[in-house]
């Protein structure tokens, strides 16, 4: 199987390949499953990838092996065609931004940014540091110590320090976890803009699907040390490879069906499939793919409702199944006439559905 192919045949091979990771594995305890199990992925020049998965799935260990902070038991890492699998961290030319920023507390912000620029003349390093501080919106703050800055500002200093040497690749391990929710949203867009502007590729470790969807060009979804699927946020959301991916990225209803090629017979009638399947299948149906209509003779009943302003969530009991439905305003369920708990309804699916096992 090619390095970047999932078991279901998704494949995205970037045009200018920067990084190729092949069969990377790390086993910490002989009696336990490997922390990272034959992970393969490739990254294009300037591309941003998120490693996304639940706690303990091996994201950080994968990132550390790419950065040289951890040695793999098997597999290889190539950067611009050069095998760097066994190179020490300082010889790889890869930038790393740590969760706690790892700034030197006794150095000024400016000297922190200049830290990687020791090969330049003093004047050139000063000029580069000022340029980087301006780029991250911290001009005028170069004389301060890190503790005199907010968490978001310290994060930007760490990024400025890493990007000052224009590394081809920057590794970011949960870089926004110390920031509050509003700051996180603002800072992640900033980070994306900066990486794109400098032209550095990035790999970001996160367990926050919203962060991965908002920031990355492509997402690698991991579970139990393995990569389950690699794709653009759109591909992963619309065409999840497995039930786990469907549940981890956004919300999904799982509905049974009997597939015949590109169609499937379900309790909601015959529906088109997003990829071919045959026989008994489980289908991932996104809550927004289900239309809900008030109908006193309908076969289902609303058992829960949550008003969210721009849309409404309904939990609908139909026979044995409880389905989650999201109904946007303008889909006939305007603010004036919501469907109430206990109302009889009829559900329809008018979209492709995805077989997930
Ligand atoms: N140095 C180590 N020694 C022993 N076990 C380790 C070590 N580092 C990680 N592990 C184990 O390897 C597995 C994967 O850990 P890893 O930190 O890569 O996961 P993660 O997906 O990044 O999790 P989190 O989101 O919680 O940081 C876990 O079971 C962890 O306990």
pLDDT in tens, 140-184: 898 999 999 988 888 889 888 998 888 999 999 988 877 778 878
Whether 109 contacts 149, CB under 8 Å: yes
Indicate whether residue 55 lines ligand 1 (CB < 6 A).
Answer: yes
Indicate whether residue 128 lines ligand 1 (CB < 6 A).
Answer: no
- Taking the centre of ligand 1 as the mean of its atom positions, its distance from the CA of residue 60, in whole angstroms, is 7
| 323/346 Cα distance (integer angstroms) | 12
- Taking the centre of ligand 1 as the mean of its atom positions, its distance from the CA of residue 286, in whole angstroms, is 31
The residue behind tokens 């192919």 is 5
Residue 309: left (phi > 0), alpha (psi -120 to 50), or beta?
left
Characterize the bridge pairing of strands 218-223 and 48-52.
Answer: parallel
C-alpha distances in angstroms, 17 versus 128, 295, 320? 28, 55, 49
| 126/133 Cα distance (integer angstroms) | 11
The residue whose C-alpha atom lies closest to atom 6 belonging to ligand 1 is: 28
Indicate whether residue 58 lines ligand 1 (CB < 6 A).
Answer: yes
pLDDT in tens, 84-107: 999 999 899 899 987 777 889 999
Per-residue pLDDT, averaged over 194-215, amounts to 92
- Taking the centre of ligand 1 as the mean of its atom positions, its distance from the CA of residue 184, in whole angstroms, is 24
Q: What predicted TM-score, i.e. pTM, was given to this entire model?
A: 0.86
Beta bridge partners of 95: 170
| 318/296 Cα distance (integer angstroms) | 14
- Taking the centre of ligand 1 as the mean of its atom positions, its distance from the CA of residue 59, in whole angstroms, is 8
In terms of pLDDT, which residue wins out, 357 or 275?
A: 275
Candidates 31, 35, 50, 226: which one to mutate for ligand 1, based on the most atoms within 8 Å of Cβ?
Answer: 35
Task: Count CB neighbours of 169 within 10 A.
Answer: 24
Indicate whether residue 54 lines ligand 1 (CB < 6 A).
Answer: no
Q: How far apart are the first and last CA of the chain?
A: 20
* Rg over CA atoms, the chain: 24
The residue whose C-alpha atom lies closest to atom 7 belonging to ligand 1 is: 28
pLDDT in tens, 197-206: 889 999 999 9
pLDDT in tens, 294-318: 999 999 999 999 988 888 899 999 9
The residue behind tokens 């209509």 is 293
Indicate whether residue 35 lines ligand 1 (CB < 6 A).
Answer: yes
Indicate whether residue 56 lines ligand 1 (CB < 6 A).
Answer: yes
Coil vs helix vs strand at 161:
helix
Whether 109 contacts 147, CB under 8 Å: no
Indicate whether residue 57 lines ligand 1 (CB < 6 A).
Answer: yes
Residue 227 is given by DSSP the state E
- Taking the centre of ligand 1 as the mean of its atom positions, its distance from the CA of residue 200, in whole angstroms, is 27
What is the CA angle 208-67-65, rounded to 5?
Answer: 80
Ligand 1 atom closest to the Cα of residue 26 is 12
In the prediction, which pLDDT does 88 show? 93
Whether 52 contacts 219, CB under 8 Å: yes
Residue 207 has pLDDT above 70, yes or no: yes
Indicate whether residue 60 lines ligand 1 (CB < 6 A).
Answer: yes
Whether 282 contacts 252, CB under 8 Å: no
Residue 4 CA from chain centroid, whole number: 16
pLDDT interval class at 272 (50, 70, 90)? very high
Task: Count CB neighbours of 241 within 10 A.
Answer: 23
Indicate whether residue 114 lines ligand 1 (CB < 6 A).
Answer: no
| 232/140 Cα distance (integer angstroms) | 38
- Taking the centre of ligand 1 as the mean of its atom positions, its distance from the CA of residue 82, in whole angstroms, is 27
Mean model confidence pLDDT for the chain? 89
Indicate whether residue 25 lines ligand 1 (CB < 6 A).
Answer: no
pLDDT interval class at 8 (50, 70, 90)? very low
Q: What percent of the chain has pLDDT over 90?
A: 64
pLDDT in tens, 45-83: 999 999 999 999 999 999 999 999 999 999 999 999 999
- Taking the centre of ligand 1 as the mean of its atom positions, its distance from the CA of residue 32, in whole angstroms, is 12
Indicate whether residue 61 lines ligand 1 (CB < 6 A).
Answer: yes
The residue behind tokens 């579970």 is 223
Candidates 29, 56, 207: which one to mutate for ligand 1, based on the most atoms within 8 Å of Cβ?
Answer: 56
The residue whose C-alpha atom lies closest to atom 5 belonging to ligand 1 is: 28
């Amino acid at each position: 199987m090619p390095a970047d192919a999932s078991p279901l045949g998704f494949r995205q091979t970037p045009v200018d390949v920067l990084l190729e990771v092949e069969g990377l594995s790390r086993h910490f305890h002989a009696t336990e499953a490997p922390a990272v199990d034959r992970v393969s992925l490739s990254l294009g020049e300037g591309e941003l990838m998120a490693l996304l998965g639940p706690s303990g799935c091996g994201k950080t260990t994968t990132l550390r092996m790419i950065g040289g902070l951890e040695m793999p038991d098997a597999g290889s890492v190539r950067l611009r065609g050069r095998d760097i699998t066994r190179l020490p961290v300082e010889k790889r030319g890869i930038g790393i931004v740590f969760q706690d920023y790892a700034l030197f507390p006794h150095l000024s912000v400016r000297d922190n940014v200049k830290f990687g620029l020791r090969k330049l003349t003093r004047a050139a390093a000063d000029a580069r540091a000022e340029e980087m501080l301006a780029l991250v919106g911290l001009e005028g703050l170069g004389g301060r110590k890190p503790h005199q800055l907010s968490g978001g500002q310290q994060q930007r200093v760490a990024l400025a320090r890493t990007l000052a040497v224009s590394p081809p690749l920057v590794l970011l391990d949960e870089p926004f976890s110390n920031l509050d929710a509003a700051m996180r949203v603002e800072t992640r867009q900033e980070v994306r803009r900066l990486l794109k502007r400098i032209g550095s590729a990035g790999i970001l470790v996160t367990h926050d699907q919203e962060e991965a969807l908002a920031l990355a060009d492509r997402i690698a979804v991991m579970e139990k040390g393995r990569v389950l699927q690699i794709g653009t946020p759109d591909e992963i959301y619309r065409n999840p490879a497995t039930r786990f991916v469907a549940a981890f990225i956004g919300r999904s209803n799982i509905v049974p069906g009997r597939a015949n090629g590109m169609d499937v017979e379900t309790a909601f009638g015959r529906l088109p499939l997003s990829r071919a399947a045959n026989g008994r299948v489980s289908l991932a149906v996104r809550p927004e793919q289900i239309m809900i209509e008030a109908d006193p003779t309908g076969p289902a009943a609303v058992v829960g409702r949550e008003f969210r302003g721009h849309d409404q969530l309904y939990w609908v009991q139909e026979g044995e199944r409880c389905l989650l439905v999201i109904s946007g305003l303008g889909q006939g369920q305007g603010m004036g006439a919501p469907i109430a708990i206990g109302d009889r309804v009829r559900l329809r699916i008018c979209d492709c559905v995805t077989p997930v096992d």
